Amino acid sequence: MSLLEVCDLKKSFDKLHVLKGISFSLEKGEVLAILGASGSGKTTLLRCLNFLETADSGSIKVNGEELLGGKINQEILRKKRLHFGLVFQSFNLFPQYTVLKNVTLAHELLASERPDYKARKKEILSEINENALALLERVGLSDKKDAYPHQLSGGPCQRVAIARALALSPDVLCFDEPTSALDPNLTGEVLKVIRSLKTSDRTMIVVTHEMEFAHSVADKVIFMANGRIEEEGTADEVFKNPKSPLTREFFKSFRF
Amino acid sequence: MSTLASQFPIVVRSLNLGFLQSLRLFFVTLIGALPLGLLISFGSMSAWAPLAKLGLRKRAATGKKTRFTKFCAEFRPISLIVRVIVWIFRGTPLMLQLLIIFYFPGLVWGNNVWGSGEAGRFAASCIAFVINYACYFSEIYRGGIEGIPRGQYEAGQVLGMKHSQIFRRVVLLQVVKRIIPPMGNEIITLVKDTSLARIIALQEIIWAGQAFMKGSHGISGAIWPLFFTGVYYLVFTGIVTLILGAVEKKLGYFKA
C-alpha cells in the first residue's frame, strides 16, 4: 500500500477546470517533483492536498485512509490537514513571533488539547521546545532563534518556514515553489536544506522550476499541463527522454 | 467687579468638575465602543448566505447564471443589516443622535426613561456615544482585519490551528498594530466630541464654561472661562497622543 494515493482528482473554479483528473501515488520516503508552466494546476493540486481548497471529486488516500468526501466541518478539516505540511512560496511566517515561537506555536496549541496536558504541561512544553531547537539546528538557524522574521532575509525566512512545517511531523511535506521568491544566492541555501531532508521516511512533494534540483532530488517527476498529468516517470526518464511534445517544449525554455 | 485673579480659582474649580464629567463620558465610550466595534465589524464581514445553496441548486438545474442565482449567492442578511445600521450612525450627526436618544422616549412614548437629573443625561450620552463610536471603530477594525494577507490564515490552517486560534494568536496583534494610527485619530476626535453632550445639558466642561457668561458662582458676563476650556482639551489630547505613541513604539518590535 502506498503512503499517498491520489486518484482522479478534479477541481474547478466556476467554469475553469483547473484539475481535470490527477492520479498518482507515492511510497514512503519518496520525493515527487511536480513541474509545469504557470497555470497548469500545480499549486491548486498542492492546495487540494492540504485542504486549503476542497477538490470536487476523486480520492486522496493517506495510508489507505480516504480523506476526501464525507462530512466536512472545522474539526474534521483540521485532522485532515495535519497529514500534510505546506511550505509556501511567500513564507507566511508570523511576524510578531520570534523564529523559535514560529516553530513551536502550532505544536503548543495542538498539545494543549491533549488530555494529559494539564498534568504534564511543563514536560510537554519543554519537549516541544527541544524539538523546535533541533529542527532549527537542522536548517542551520540555531543562532537566529530569537530573531523576528523581518530581521531575516528571504533564504533564512524560508528555512524557518521549513522548520515550522516539520514541527508537526506531517506524513507528506509539500513545497509550493519554495525558491521562487528568492534571488539566486538565497535559492541555493534553501534547496540544500530541502535536499538534506531527504531521508528514508520523509515523503515530500516539491513544486518547483529548479530543474537541476528536481532532477537530482526527485525519485518521481510529474509534468503537468492544462490541469492534466502530461508525463510522469522517474527523474531520468522524464528529463533525459521526455515522450510528450509538450514536455519537450517546456524543457527547451530552460537551460541546463 | 471682580478681578481676573479672584475669578480664576473659582472658575478652575468649576471647570475641573465639568472636565471630570467629560472624562467619564470619554472613558465609558472607549470601554464600550472598542469591543462593540469589533463585534459590529464581525457582523459587517459576516459571510452567512442562507440562500447560497438554493442558488447553486437552481444554477445546477438550469445550467444558467441568472439575476436570481446571483442574488442568492450575494444575499448576506447579517452583513446587510449591520452595514445599514453603521450607515445610519455614521451618516447622521452625533448631536442629532444625542437629541433623539434623550428626548424621543419622553416626547413620543410619553415615558422619559432618563428622568430629569444629570445621571439620566449621562446615561443617554453614553449610549449615543458608544453606539456612534462603535460604528466608526468597526470600519477601522474591518480595514485592519481585511488587510491581513490571506497567507497568514492559510499558514495557520495548514498547521492545524482552529479559526479562533488563528484569529487570537496570529491575526489580532497584527490588526492592532495596523489600526493604531486611524484609531488614534478617532480617539482624539472623541476627546473633543464629548462637548456635543452639551446639547442635552450634560454638565461637561463646555457647559461649565458657558455658565459663567450667564452667571454662576457670583461671576457673570465672563467669556474667558469658555475660551479657557480649550487648554483642558489640549492638555488631554496631548496626553492621549503620548500614550498612543508609546503603544505604537511598543508594537514596533515587529513589522506586519
Q: pLDDT tens digits for B110-158?
A: 888 888 899 999 999 999 999 999 999 999 999 999 999 999 999 999 9
Residue for grid cell 495596523 = B178
* Subunit contact A109:B255, Cβ cutoff 8 A: no
Q: Say if CB A112 and CB B160 are below 8 A apart.
A: no
C-alpha cell at B64: 444558467
Quote the pLDDT of residue A75.
Answer: 86
pLDDT digits 0-9 by tens, B157-196? 999 999 999 999 999 999 999 999 999 999 999 999 999 9
Residue A256 has what pLDDT?
52
Q: Which of A51, A92, A150 sits opposite B155 (nearest CB)?
A: A92
What mean pLDDT do residues A156-165 have?
A: 96
Chain B contact present for A15, CB below 8 A? no
Query: Distance between terminal CA atoms of chain B?
Result: 62
Cell numbers representing residue B50 in the block: 442562507
A109 touches chain B (CB under 8 A): yes
- pLDDT interval class at B60 (50, 70, 90): confident
Reported as a single tens digit per residue, the pLDDT across B71-124 is: 888 899 999 999 999 999 999 999 999 999 999 998 888 888 888 899 999 999
Angle at Cα A96 formed by Cα A95 and Cα A97, nearest 5°? 95
Q: Report in angstroms the alpha-carbon separations of A161 from A40, A142, B162.
A: 25, 14, 19
Among the partner residues A52, A86, A105, nearest to B169 by beta-carbon distance = A105
Say yes or no for a CB contact (<8 Å) between B160 and A148. Answer: no
B211 has a pLDDT exceeding 80: yes
Q: Which residue has the cell 509534468?
A: A223
Is this model's pTM higher than 0.90 or not? Answer: no
Q: Which of B69, B158, B163, B254 to mutate to test the interface with A (most CBs of A within 10 A)?
A: B158
**Considering only CA atoms, which of B238, B21, B247 is closest in space to residue B129?**
B21
Chain B, nearest residue to A149 by Cα? B254
Is any Cβ of chain B less than 8 angstroms from the Cβ of A73?
no
Residue A253 has pLDDT above 80, yes or no: no
Q: How many residues can be counted in chain B?
A: 256
Mutate to test the interface with B, among A13, A14, A72, A94 (most CBs of B within 10 A): A94
Q: How many CB atoms lie within 10 A of CB A29?
A: 14
Residue B2 has pLDDT above 70, yes or no: no
Q: Sheet holding A65-66: strands in order across?
A: A16-26, A4-13, A57-62, A65-66
Residue A71 has pLDDT above 90, yes or no: no
ipTM of the complex: 0.92
Q: Which residue has the higher pLDDT, A154 or B3?
A: A154
Q: How confident is the model at residue A145 (pLDDT cuts 50, 70, 90)?
A: very high
- Sign of the alpha-carbon dihedral angle for A109, A113, A118, A124: negative
Say if residue B106 is exposed, middle or buried (CB neighbours under 10 Å; 0-12, 13-18, 19+).
middle
Rounded to a whole number of angstroms, the distance from the CA of B225 to the nearest CA of chain A is 48
